Structure 1
């Protein structure tokens, strides 16, 4: 799955749970994005994302 598709999925999940969700394209290093959800923070890299990586990000954001 590509990063943009994954961020759409995260945003949808956060909306369903009633949690605020933000994406900061300028705060990560290089081509990485910083995402926050309800006070929790994670970094999403660019390119193809593995299922294991996506599961890790969801857990860090409390969206699992």
Structure 2
């Protein structure tokens, strides 16, 4: 049973991370310019890379 809870937590990790990063990035872009825009873009890129990594790891392998 504990395996199912871990799977459910992993499914929600990527969307929550992306939404949190987007919110932080938007607030950062509204508050400041220049360096903050670059940092916001890096945060979003990191969240995207994390989500893609999770998707690739959880994809079934070798099964049609």
Judge same fold: TM > 0.5, yes or no: no
Q: TM-score of the superposition, structure 1-length normalised?
A: 0.32
Structure showing greater radius of gyration is 2
Q: TM-score of the superposition, structure 2-length normalised?
A: 0.32
More strand by share: 1
